[in-house]
A and B are shown apart, each in its own frame.
Chain A
Amino acid sequence: MPIKVRVPTPLRRFTGGVDEVVADGDSIKNVIEDLERRHPGIRERLLDDSGELRRFVNVYLNGDDIRFLNQLNSKVKDGDDISIVPAIAGGR
């Protein structure tokens, strides 16, 4: 079940510069695991050592923050749209 994932600029060095990739999985957690298989190194930027979403990274499932859904266990299905949006500080 391929899911489209939008990759933010700071993480594109793991995806060969590509801004949108596909990954398989029935939950956010499994999609991230599959992303790691396809793009090694990306998992560590999203999850901390205990496997929780890092507190400066947000993941949106169809525009909704997964923290207010079922966190990493939020279910995903074909055609869903996942956006990864880390905190960025720039302004000057």
Chain B
Amino acid sequence: MAKSSKNIIDEARASIKAIDIDEARRMLDQPGTVLIDVRESDEWRQGHIPQAVGIPRGFLELRIEEKVSDHKAPIILQCASGTRSLLAARALKELGYENLYNLTGGFNAWKDRGLPWVADRAFTQDEITRYSRHFVIPEVGEKGQAKLLDSKVLILGAGALGSPTSLYLAAAGVGTIGLVDFDVVDLSNLQRQIIHTTDRVGIPKTESAQKQINALNPGVKVNRHDVRLSSENVMGIIAGYDVVVNCGDNFPTRYLINDACVLAGKPLVDGAIFRFEGNATVFYPAAGGPCYRCLYPEPAPPDMAPSCAEAGVLGALPGLIGSIEALEAIKLLLGAGKPLIGKMVYFDTLSSDYVRVLKIRRNPDCPVCSDHPTQTGLIDYEAFCGLAPAANGAEHAAAAAGR
């Protein structure tokens, strides 16, 4: 004879230990105890116990291994009142979990006792749909998505690397994207700068990029910085951002943004391209990694390092490197995985074994990021790179800007 729901609940009660809130709190003070909230996502969003891990009942058997691999770990199951969590505990028992407890009274009792609870960011229905593929990734989830929506990323350059970087960051829901570029869209950009369009030739790149970003994701706030980055303005511009992404195209700017990020203690995601070749890394001395100057203490003289305008660059290559830059920025914002700190991925895409992961290290005598820096402020980067300072330098850098 088929069992009634009452039979099933009674059976579960007999085999799962019920605990009250005081007992649950004592257990949660012990390391290793896991509290699983099995209510639905919309209930979870309205409020949950701070220590709880949310796995809706319908996904419990599918996701429990990801969250708790140790079958002997003490697990407290919790729902709104204690019934769904009882059945959830029974399901985990069938999966071989041995140390299961059901929280009597559930979240309602917890809340009624005046104990602390938190409500996650309230997502709009549009956001829930838009970011649904992020919500199911354990490393992102609703918590990670909320972090992305509250984060601010500055992208230096709205060109070849800046196009995929800013589009993917916008698509991912990074709440504020700053774009630094003083250039206008040119027809010769469109072979690789996929954020711009033919009908926007002649308008400022930041304006063109803003249109595309907001067409993709209207929720993203775009800050346009239509300026040439300089020693005078850089600190003010980077101040409000969590992560800086270098999509620039010349040595003076690379050293300038490096030094500024070291001084401000900000992570700098870096990428560079040349024809079929490119590399990406994260410079973050505050987290123990090297800076750009540790890697290349001095710039290449102009005659030994032709720009993209002189040497050419393949259209799809910045797609690869810029996407890695976006990915690294997202990892940093989420605190997920291991960022490319102290590692450089190097691609030579013409060859068939084209990836190398190179170890890069902090220079203990680095003039900028070492413990005893000899340079504690910003300098004249045009002069440092062997380019004439002032007016001539600006012209030279503009000529090397890949237009």
Kindly list chain B residues whose C-beta atoms are within 8 Å of the C-beta of A25: none
How far is it, in angstroms, between the C-alpha of A86 and the C-alpha of B311 when the chains are bound? 15
Q: Which of B246, B276, B300 has the most CB of A within 10 A?
A: B300
Q: Which residues of chain B from 274 to 321 have any CB-CB distance to chain A below 8 Å in the complex?
A: 274-279, 295-300, 304-308, 311, 313, 318
**In the docked arrangement, what's the CA distance between A10 and B308, Å?**
12
Q: List 14 contacting pairs A-B, 8 Å CB cutoff, sorted by A.
A: A55-B297, A56-B296, A56-B304, A58-B358, A63-B357, A67-B361, A85-B346, A86-B305, A87-B296, A88-B277, A90-B272, A90-B274, A91-B162, A92-B183
Residue ID in chain B nearest A87 by CB atoms = B296
CA A8 – CA B346 in complex, angstroms? 11
- Smallest distance from the beta carbon of A2 to chain B beta carbons, Å? 18
> Which residues of chain B in 380-403 are interfacial with respect to chain A, using CB atoms and an 8 Å cutoff?
400-403
The segment from B29-37, B222-230, B348-356 that touches chain A is B348-356
Chain A residues near B403 (CB, 8 Å)?
92
Report yes or no: A92 in contact with B276, Cβ–Cβ below 8 A. no
A interface footprint on B242-267 (CB within 8 Å = 1, 0 otherwise): 00001111110010000000000000
Assess whether A65 is interfacial by the CB under 8 Å rule. yes
**Contact with B318, one of A67, A68, A91 (Cβ below 8 angstroms):** A91
Question: In the complex, which residues of chain A have a beta carbon less than 8 angstroms from the beta carbon of B313?
Answer: 90
Nearest chain A CB to B288 CB, angstrom units = 15
Q: Does B106 contact A (CB under 8 A)?
A: no
1-35 of chain A: CB within 8 A of chain B:
6, 8-10, 19-20
Q: Is B38 an interface residue (CB 8 A)?
A: no
Residues of A within 8 A of B279 (CB): 85, 88
Is A64 engaged at the interface, CB distance under 8 Å to the other chain? yes
Contact call A87/B251, Cβ cutoff below 8 A: yes
A8, A63, A89, A91, most chain B CB atoms within 10 A: A91
Of all chain A residues, which has the CB nearest B292? A87
Find out whether the CB atom of A63 lies under 8 angstroms from the CB atom of B254.
no
Give B168 Cβ to nearest chain A Cβ, in Å. Answer: 16
CA distance A87 to B351 in the complex (A): 20
State in angstroms the CA–CA spacing of A45 and B304 once bound together. Answer: 8
Which residues of A lie under 8 Å from residue B3 when comparing CB positions?
none
Interface size class of B (residues with CB under 8 A): 35 or more
Q: Which A residues form the contact surface with B (CB < 8 A)?
A: 6, 8-10, 19-20, 45, 54-56, 58, 60, 63-65, 67-68, 83, 85-92
CB-CB under 8 A from A58, the residues of chain B are 295-296, 358
Count A/B pairs, Cβ under 8 Å: 125
Docked-complex contact B276 and A88, CB < 8 angstroms: no
The listed residue with most A CB atoms (<10 A of its CB), out of B159, B193, B275, is B275
In angstroms, Cα B153 to Cα A67, docked, is: 33
Q: Which residue of chain B has the shortest Cβ distance to A44 in the bound complex?
A: B304
Choose from B296, B306, B311, B358 the contact partner of A55 (Cβ within 8 Å).
Answer: B296
* B160: Cβ under 8 A from any A Cβ: yes
A65 touches B360 (CB 8 A): yes
Q: Is the Cβ of B300 less than 8 Å from the Cβ of A86?
A: yes
Give complex CA distance A68, B359 in Å. Answer: 10
Residues of B within 8 A of A87 (CB): 251, 272, 295-296, 299-300, 305
Q: Report A43 CB to chain B, min CB distance, Å.
A: 13
Interface membership of B175, Cβ < 8 A: no
State A67–B251 Cα separation when bound (angstroms): 22
Whether A88 contacts B299 in the complex (CB less than 8 A), given A6-B348, A64-B359, comes out as no
- The answer to whether the Cβ of B271 comes within 8 Å of any Cβ in the partner chain is yes
B161 within 8 A of partner (CB): yes
| A58 vs B298: C-alpha distance when bound (angstroms) | 11
> For residue B250, which residues in chain A have a CB less than 8 angstroms away from its CB?
89
Q: Which 9 A-B pairs have CB atoms at the shortest separation, nearest pair first? A: A92-B159, A92-B402, A55-B298, A92-B249, A56-B300, A90-B308, A91-B249, A87-B296, A88-B274
Query: Does the CB pair A63–B305 fall under 8 Å?
Result: no
Within 8 A of A (CB), among B129-161: 157, 159-161
In the assembled complex, the Cα of A20 lies from the Cα of B354 at a distance in Å of 11
Q: Is B273 an interface residue (CB 8 A)?
A: yes
- Option from A10, A67, A85 in Cβ contact (under 8 Å) with B305: A10
- Name the residue of chain B whose CB is nearest to the CB of A81: B356
How many whole Å from A34's CB to the nearest CB in chain B? 22
Shortest distance from the beta carbon of B180 to any chain A beta carbon, whole Å: 12
| Closest Cβ–Cβ distance, residue B272 to chain A (whole Å) | 5
- Cβ of B333 to closest chain A Cβ, rounded Å: 21
CA distance A64 to B346 in the complex (A): 13
A20 touches B351 (CB 8 A): yes
